Amino acid sequence: MNQISLVATSMLLSFFLTGLATWYARRNGMVDRPGERHSHTVATPRGGGAGLVLALLIASLFLPASGGEFWNKCVLPCVVVLAILGWRDDHAALSARFRILVQLAASIYLVTCANDHGWMPGAGGPFLAVLALVWMCNLYNFMDGSNGMAGLQGVFGGIVLSWLFISAGESGLASVSALVAACCAGFLPWNFGRARVFMGDVGSVSLGFIFGALLAGGVGLTAFSLPVALLVMLVFLADGTLTLLVRVMKGEQWYNAHKQHMYQRLIAHGWTHSRVALYYQLINLAMIVPGIVVAVKYPGLAWPVVMAMILIFAVGWFLVTRKLEGPARAG
């Protein structure tokens, strides 16, 4: 099967498997109900991300044996474990401590595996890499609170990473990234606009880990630099990390569900889910893509570009969230 056929098949498979997961969720009472900590207004099934992840796992079987060894040996086993964990959590909530411990174990395995094969040398150190992977798992989960948000970011991130890996001659990981984008695109018809299903932990945690792994692997394999890696997911990183820092500084229980992210505040002030999701992607297209192009073409400007972006995002985040602060406070 050629690459284009595999990508198209993956998207269709993701669409149909998400439909199957939606049917299963409805039948088994896996439903998120509206509440003071939720941005939706109608009861909606969760766990649809199982279809997305399963489609990606199946598609991975058809990747060339010579490409994507990092993906097959180090990443895929962790994705399977995290998807099972998320699927169980979508059925009945597991303790935060247990979830973190499993995410930590998966991250340690990936970094150890990558270091043993020389696939992640100098990628910021094993300890920092593990922390980054665990944070990406939770970051993506935190940002999956608006219809289409996580799916559209998955399409964007997968396409950008595919281009970066192709440019560096890493065809295996380029194919993997394209499959991630395709599977996210197949999920979107079920979630964008009027959500018929939510991604759930099975999808959001797995996707967060996948992107963390691809970014860490890209840096370790010198396919792209660390500042470029930071730029790919900076929209999510800025909102998720700044929200966490503010909650910690206020002494709040940061691990509890809340509605303090900027995208949640915008929805609370009358923006539709679709408008918010498209607004975030407009930022990606207008700022992130040009920033990545500059950082790749002029490596000496990579760190100044990413630091400038972080400053702009931080100032913008604080100004917007302060203006929208009142109605969006956590209960």
DSSP secondary structure code for residue 66 in this structure: T
What local confidence, expressed as pLDDT, does residue 121 receive?
Answer: 59
Contact assessment for residue 33 and residue 41, using Cβ atoms and an 8 Å cutoff: no
pLDDT at 258 (0 to 100) = 66
Instruction: Write down the pLDDT at residue 324.
Output: 79
Intervals of the chain under pLDDT 50: 327-331
Report whether 95 contacts 201 (CB < 8 A).
Answer: no
Residue 242 Cα distances to 34, 234, 262, 267, angstroms? 25, 11, 10, 18
Phi-psi region of 125 (alpha: psi -120 to 50; beta: other; left: phi over 0): left
- The enclosing H or E element of 31 equals strand 31-32
pLDDT, position 331: 33
Give the pLDDT confidence score for residue 122 in this predicted structure.
56
255: left (phi over 0), alpha (psi -120 to 50) or beta: alpha
Task: Please give the pLDDT value at position 329.
Answer: 41
Give the pLDDT of residue 93: 87
256 touches 317 (CB < 8 A): no
Q: How much is the pLDDT for 67? A: 59
Predicted local confidence at residue 65, as pLDDT? 64
The share of the chain scoring above pLDDT 70, in percent, equals 92
End-to-end CA distance of the chain: 52
pLDDT at 193: 85
